[in-house]
């Protein structure tokens, strides 16, 4: 009956195992598929970019060769005309031969400045051009209706004093076709100056160029185009755009800022390969572009992305279809295998549930499958036996731990009872005020402080730090404090007290523990403070109206190490309202989260504002500063602070 209710769970485990394997396989496949797809796209883009840039460079090279070949003749003729007496017999044959001898030149002219050819002639610009036949046709360009002095092909080289290619235009006064003109200025030269006389021009018809570029295609709808140095279309498959639209007007009309950006790069002579939205189809496309440096134009080659990656998409669909069929088959196989593997586990379900309820006497069924399930069954049974023993051990350990914790609490209470804890300690005394506090790092610690009256006029006080932590340090601290109070007597100096205590601590000190300690005797009538040191931190002296400073301590070895150690005594006078702050290294060596120490410098900084505070305020303020500096860092050492305020005798 129990197995019948658990059967669906076993089937769920098999299904989950199958789904996990299938999901992992699917993720691996998708990762590999994505990686392959990504790098295939990159490889295709790389190859296409190379092809597109080569195609653009090929078109540019064709245009450059054509334009560069045209530039030579105007340059030679211009040099020939300079400083010569020009006549029709000289000029007309030159212009005729330029057109007749160069198939790349559509027309050529020598346009002179007003009255530069003859004093009585304002216009003189003989022009030869091809019109329907190989023979050159002649006409004079200059007249009142065709004032060539104002045309760019004449005016710009005159102003710039250098040859230029004009912006393409439709010449209605001469050739009657779409053309661009190369104009080379010539001069009348003398030793003093150079005077502009006119330009020699060579026209290149753009109709053949437009037709050639319009026939360029890549894939099904890819195309090439040519723009001028102002962005106007010179060649484009859409003939209605030529000399009527620019790449910038098209970008504005189609709201394509990326097209405007690439247009700026193109007219500035840049080259590159970039993705953009095609203004004609609205689809993402790739654009390769390169400059025609001779004329300042730029060639662009556009390739639609959807056509470029069409084969990849087809391949991806095929791969995904095959993968889906394979994963479905894999799911069925894995489910079958998973059920055969998980079926023997049903024998363990009831037993483990009983064990989980706490019934450790349950007997596990015998399994002889010879595989990991048999090992698992044996391990569960061994775990059941070990768990019984472990629970018994835990119960005993818990009782022992509770006993230890109770004893530690009692030890902590006993230790704290060793220390004076009533403040003010001597209510009848008006010559001084005193306060002390101790914060152990563990339940019990090794720091100590003490103070008591040697006689009605002398106060003995001390602060110390045992070398270890925990219970051994607490015991050593209790012994030290007891010895200090027992050895201090009227007429003794602090050095005498330390010497006698050191001798006692060195006896049978097999654990090699030691204690640092500073102590002093205050004469309340005079303010004279007699003090001695056993390797402890120097107290902070706060005099009224002065900056805090460390009290200079005499040299002294720690207590409990060398029985022959010698201690010295020094004397300082305290004036009314002087304060003394004693502490252990738990203050200066407290660490923050970055393991940086609180430090002596920070201690002096914290005590700067304590000149007018009571001893209790001084101690509480310093303890709070140390805890704030440490933040959430665990306290690593005991912290003890004792503050003494000398008011003076009255």
Burial (CB count within 10 angstroms: exposed 0-12, middle 13-18, buried 19+), residue 340: exposed
Same-domain check for residues 599 and 465? yes
Indicate whether 16 belongs to any domain: no
Q: Is the pLDDT of residue 109 over 50?
A: yes
Same-domain check for residues 460 and 561? yes
Burial (CB count within 10 angstroms: exposed 0-12, middle 13-18, buried 19+), residue 181: buried
3-state secondary structure of 426: coil
Q: 518-535 burial, b for 16+ CB within 10 Å, e for fewer? A: bbbbbbbeebebbbbbbb
Same-domain check for residues 478 and 380? no
Same-domain check for residues 479 and 372? no
Confidence of residue 9 (pLDDT cuts 50, 70, 90): very low
3-state secondary structure of 644: strand
Q: Which of 190, 205, 220 is the last residue of a domain?
A: 205
Indicate whether 302 belongs to any domain: no
Partner residues linked to 26 by β-bridges: none
- Calpha distance 273→281 (Å, rounded): 19
What confidence score (pLDDT) does residue 640 get? 94
**Which secondary structure element, helix H or strand E, spans residue 474, and what is its range?**
helix 470-487
161's tokens: 């004093």
What CATH number corresponds to the domain at position 362? 1.10.8
Residue 516's alpha-carbon distances to 47, 480, 519, 583, in angstroms, are 80, 10, 10, 11
Q: Which of 184, 205, 226 is the last residue of a domain?
A: 205
3-state DSSP percent of the chain in helix, strand and coil, to 5: 45, 20, 30
Partner residues linked to 200 by β-bridges: 110, 184
Indicate whether 372 belongs to any domain: yes
Q: Is the pLDDT of residue 7 over 60?
A: no
What confidence score (pLDDT) does residue 410 get? 60
Indicate whether 41 belongs to any domain: no
Contacts of 279 (CB under 8 A, 6+ apart): 250, 251, 254, 256, 259
Indicate whether 10 belongs to any domain: no
What confidence score (pLDDT) does residue 518 get? 96
Q: Which of 164, 183, 205 is the last residue of a domain?
A: 205
Same-domain check for residues 460 and 370? no
**Which secondary structure element, helix H or strand E, spans residue 77, and what is its range?**
helix 2-81
Contacts of 356 (CB under 8 A, 6+ apart): none
Confidence of residue 499 (pLDDT cuts 50, 70, 90): very high
118's tokens: 């003859």
Same-domain check for residues 181 and 131? yes
617-622 CB contacts, 8 Å cutoff, 24+ apart: 618/435, 618/579, 618/581, 618/643, 619/435, 619/436, 619/437, 619/643, 620/437, 622/581, 622/583, 622/587
- Calpha distance 406→398 (Å, rounded): 12
Largest CA distance in the chain: 141
3-state secondary structure of 281: coil
What confidence score (pLDDT) does residue 341 get? 67
- Calpha distance 216→214 (Å, rounded): 6
**Which secondary structure element, helix H or strand E, spans residue 194, and what is its range?**
strand 194-205
Burial (CB count within 10 angstroms: exposed 0-12, middle 13-18, buried 19+), residue 475: middle
Q: Among 203-217, 365-379, 501-515, name the one with the lowest average pLDDT.
A: 365-379
DSSP 232: B
Confidence of residue 10 (pLDDT cuts 50, 70, 90): very low
- Calpha distance 220→303 (Å, rounded): 9
131's tokens: 């019109």
What confidence score (pLDDT) does residue 5 get? 41
The Cα angle at residue 491 between residues 490 and 497, in degrees rounded to 5: 85
Same-domain check for residues 426 and 541? yes
Closest CA to 20 of 334, 342, 333, 324: 334
Confidence of residue 4 (pLDDT cuts 50, 70, 90): very low
pLDDT digits (tens, 9 = 90+) for 151-195: 888 999 999 999 998 888 876 655 567 888 999 999 988 777 888
What confidence score (pLDDT) does residue 103 get? 84
pLDDT digits (tens, 9 = 90+) for 299-347: 988 888 877 777 777 777 888 888 888 888 887 877 777 766 666 666 6
Indicate whether 343 belongs to any domain: no
Q: Which domain holds residue 363?
A: 350-390
Residue 503 in contact with residue 485, Cβ under 8 Å? Answer: no
What confidence score (pLDDT) does residue 198 get? 94
- Calpha distance 156→296 (Å, rounded): 15
DSSP string, 336-373: HHHHHHHGGGHHHHHHHHHHHTT-TTPPPPP---SSHH
Q: Is the pLDDT of residue 213 over 50?
A: yes
- Calpha distance 173→127 (Å, rounded): 10
Give percent above pLDDT 70 in the chain.
90
DSSP 270: -
Residue 223 in contact with residue 285, Cβ under 8 Å? Answer: no
What confidence score (pLDDT) does residue 639 get? 92
**Which secondary structure element, helix H or strand E, spans residue 405, and what is its range?**
helix 372-418
105: phi then psi, degrees, rounded to nearest 5: -90, 125
Residue 591 in contact with residue 408, Cβ under 8 Å? Answer: no
3-state secondary structure of 120: coil
What CATH number corresponds to the domain at position 105? 3.30.450.20
pLDDT digits (tens, 9 = 90+) for 423-443: 888 888 889 999 999 988 877
The total number of structural domains in the chain stands at 3
**Which secondary structure element, helix H or strand E, spans residue 14, and what is its range?**
helix 2-81
What CATH number corresponds to the domain at position 574? 3.60.40.10
Same-domain check for residues 481 and 370? no
Same-domain check for residues 470 and 423? yes
- Calpha distance 504→210 (Å, rounded): 114
Alpha helices in 82-150 (DSSP H): 88-101
519's tokens: 């102590």
Same-domain check for residues 423 and 386? no
Distance of CA 162 to the CA centre of its chain: 53
Indicate whether 124 belongs to any domain: yes
Indicate whether 128 belongs to any domain: yes
Closest CA to 634 of 474, 439, 471: 439
581's tokens: 């702050």
DSSP string, 562-620: -TT-----EEEEPPTTEEEEEE-HHHHT-B-TT--B--HHHHHHHHGGGTTS-HHHHHH
Same-domain check for residues 356 and 489? no
Residue 643's alpha-carbon distances to 2, 245, 429, 500, 541, in angstroms, are 75, 91, 16, 26, 10
- Calpha distance 483→504 (Å, rounded): 8
Contacts of 520 (CB under 8 A, 6+ apart): 460, 461, 462, 494, 529, 530, 531, 532
Mean pLDDT, residues 224-244 taken together = 86
Residue 185 in contact with residue 196, Cβ under 8 Å? Answer: yes
pLDDT digits (tens, 9 = 90+) for 57-99: 888 888 888 888 888 899 999 999 887 888 989 999 999 989 8
Residue 426 in contact with residue 601, Cβ under 8 Å? Answer: no
What confidence score (pLDDT) does residue 575 get? 93
Mean pLDDT, residues 575-585 taken together = 94
Same-domain check for residues 99 and 194? yes
Q: Is the pLDDT of residue 480 over 70?
A: yes
């Amino acid at each position: 009956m129990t197995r019948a209710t658990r059967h669906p769970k076993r089937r769920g485990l098999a299904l989950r195992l199958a789904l996990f394997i299938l999901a992992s396989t699917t993720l691996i496949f998708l990762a590999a598929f994505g990686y392959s797809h990504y790098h295939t796209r990159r490889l295709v883009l790389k190859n296409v970019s190379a092809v597109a840039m080569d195609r653009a460079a090929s078109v540019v090279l064709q245009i450059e060769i054509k334009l560069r070949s045209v530039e030579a003749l105007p340059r030679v003729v211009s040099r020939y005309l300079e400083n010569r007496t020009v006549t029709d017999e000289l000029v007309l044959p030159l212009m005729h031969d330029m057109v007749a001898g160069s198939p790349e030149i559509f027309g050529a002219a020598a346009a002179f400045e007003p009255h530069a050819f003859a004093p009585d002639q304002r216009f003189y610009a003989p022009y030869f051009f091809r019109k329907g036949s190989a023979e050159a046709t002649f006409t004079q360009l200059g007249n009142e209706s065709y004032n060539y002095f104002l045309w760019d092909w004449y005016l710009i080289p005159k102003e710039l004093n250098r040859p230029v290619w004009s912006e393409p235009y439709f010449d209605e006064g001469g050739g009657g076709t779409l053309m661009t003109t190369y104009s080379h200025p010539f001069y009348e030269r003398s030793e003093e100056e150079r005077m502009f006389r006119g330009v020699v021009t060579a026209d290149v018809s753009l109709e053949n160029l437009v037709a050639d570029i319009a026939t360029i295609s890549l894939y099904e709808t890819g195309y090439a185009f040519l723009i001028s140095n102002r962005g106007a279309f010179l060649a484009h498959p859409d003939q209605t755009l030529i000399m009527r639209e620019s790449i910038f007007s098209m970008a504005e009309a189609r709201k394509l800022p990326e097209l405007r950006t690439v247009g700026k790069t193109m007219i500035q002579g840049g080259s590159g390969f970039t993705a953009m939205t095609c203004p004609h189809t609205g689809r993402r496309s790739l654009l390769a572009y390169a400059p025609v440096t001779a004329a300042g134009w730029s060639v662009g080659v556009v390739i639609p992305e959807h056509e470029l990656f069409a084969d990849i998409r087809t391949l991806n669909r095929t791969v995904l279809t095959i993968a889906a069929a394979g994963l479905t088959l894999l799911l069925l196989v894995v489910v079958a295998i998973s059920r055969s593997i998980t079926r023997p586990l049903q024998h363990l379900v009831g037993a483990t549930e009983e064990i989980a309820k706490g019934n450790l006497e349950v007997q596990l069924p015998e399994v002889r499958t010879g595989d990991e399930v048999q090992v698992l069954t044996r391990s569960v049974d061994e775990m059941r036996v070990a768990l019984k023993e472990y629970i018994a051990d835990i119960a005993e350990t818990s009782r022992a731990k509770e006993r230890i914790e109770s004893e530690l609490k009692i030890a902590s209470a006993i230790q704290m009872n060793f220390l004076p804890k009533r403040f003010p300690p001597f209510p009848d005394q008006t010559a001084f005020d005193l306060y002390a506090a101790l914060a152990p790092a563990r339940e019990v610690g090794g720091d100590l402080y003490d103070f008591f009256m040697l006689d009605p006029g002398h106060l003995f006080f001390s602060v110390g730090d045992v070398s270890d932590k925990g219970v051994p340090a607490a015991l050593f601290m209790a012994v030290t404090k007891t010895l200090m109070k027992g050895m201090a007597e009227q007429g003794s100096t602090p050095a005498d007290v330390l010497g006698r205590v050191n001798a006692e601590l060195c006896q049978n000190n097999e654990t090699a523990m030691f204690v640092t300690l500073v102590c002093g005797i205050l004469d309340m009538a005079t303010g004279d403070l007699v003090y001695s040191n056993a390797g402890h931190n120097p107290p902070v002296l706060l005099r009224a109206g002065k900056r805090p400073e460390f009290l200079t301590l005499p040299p002294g070895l720690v207590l409990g190490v060398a029985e022959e150690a010698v201690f010295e005594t020094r004397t300082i006078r305290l004036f009314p309202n002087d304060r003394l702050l004693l502490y252990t290294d738990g203050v200066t060596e407290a660490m923050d989260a970055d393991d940086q120490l609180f430090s002596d410098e920070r201690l002096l900084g914290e005590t700067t504002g304590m000149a007018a505070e009571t001893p209790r305020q001084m101690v509480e303020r310093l303890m709070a500063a140390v805890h704030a500096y440490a933040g959430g860092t665990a306290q690593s050492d005991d912290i003890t602070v004792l503050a003494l305020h000398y008011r003076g005798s009255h």
